[in-house]
Amino acid sequence: MYALIMGSSGDIGAGTAKKLADQGWSLYLHYNKNRQRIDDLYQQLSSKYPHQDFIPVQYDMESDQVDHLLSQIYGLDAIVFAQGNTYYKLLVDMDEQELDSLWNIHIKQPIMILKELQDKLATKHHGRVVFIGSIYGKIGSAMEVVYSTVKGAMSSFADAYAKEVASLGISVNVVAPGAVDTKMNNEFSKEDLEAVKEDIPANRLANADEIAELVDYLVEMKSNYLTGQTIYFAGGWLL
């Protein structure tokens, strides 16, 4: 079984890669700029699981050259979209390039990739697609208006696409975290993160390994009957 993990060089992506490798998956480890982290992950996984394949794949999702990614992918049973970025600023301060970046990385490129890889996912009648969305796709956040917009679009896309491909055995779901302790939140001060923590009923941020557990369930599940869902994973926050 082969899975493509977009954003394997990120914290949630790397956590997911470790979990799926432990379950016996061979992995395409996608990265954009952080080659070092993928080299480290590759070394770690290859020595721990010598009978599985681990294949680094580079692709910048701000480019429009999806063929560059596709040429690196052969057999495929699952895709996890764990890449992402955000800009923490007022809508009026965002420029067009930032709008395009959010749209391309979270929505347009995943759709282009799925269009091209759908046949491979359908081959064994057991394809699995999991997006990492966000609670902000449901609730919306000031200072992250466009990020909230694309995360909402991600859930809408999953709703619709799940219906189109269920008969092919493919399931499509979204894991939508609240606040997760990853480098994406590095720009927030310790005090800011402490204040967020106090707002979360579970009284802590999630960690990447917990997200990976849920992703693992969604790619492993035996049937495609659980599909088109957005599962909020937020410790009771903002729900």
Ligand X SMILES: NC(=O)c1ccc[n+]([C@@H]2O[C@H](COP(=O)([O-])OP(=O)(O)OC[C@H]3O[C@@H](n4cnc5c(N)ncnc54)[C@H](OP(=O)(O)O)[C@@H]3O)[C@@H](O)[C@H]2O)c1
Binding site residues, ligand X, CB under 6 A? 7, 9-13, 31-34, 60-62, 82-85, 105, 132, 134, 177, 179-180, 182-185
3-state class (DSSP) for residue 71: coil
Q: Considering the complex, what minimum distance in angstroms separates the CB of residue 204 from ligand X?
A: 12
CB 63 within 8 A of CB 51: no
Nearer to ligand X, 20 or 105 (CB): 105
**Residue nearest ligand X, CB atom distance:** 10
Q: Considering the complex, what minimum distance in angstroms separates the CB of residue 88 from ligand X?
A: 12
Nearer to ligand X, 62 or 64 (CB): 62
Q: Considering the complex, what minimum distance in angstroms separates the CB of residue 211 from ligand X?
A: 8
Nearer to ligand X, 82 or 170 (CB): 82
Nearer to ligand X, 20 or 126 (CB): 20
For residues 61 and 133, give the distance between their C-alpha atoms in angstroms, rounded to a whole number.
Answer: 17
CB 57 within 8 A of CB 33: no
> 30: phi > 0 → left, psi -120 to 50 → alpha, else beta; which?
beta
Q: Are strands 26-31 and 54-58 parallel, antiparallel or unpaired?
A: parallel
Q: Considering the complex, what minimum distance in angstroms separates the CB of residue 78 from ligand X?
A: 16
Helix or strand run (H / E) with residue 192: helix 190-199
What is the residue whose two structure tokens read 């290859």?
46
What is the residue whose two structure tokens read 């979209």?
81
42, 147, 161, 232: the catalytic one is: 147
Task: Judge whether 2 counts as a catalytic residue.
Answer: no
Q: Which amino acid belongs to residue 21?
A: A
Question: Which residues are annotated as catalytic?
Answer: 147
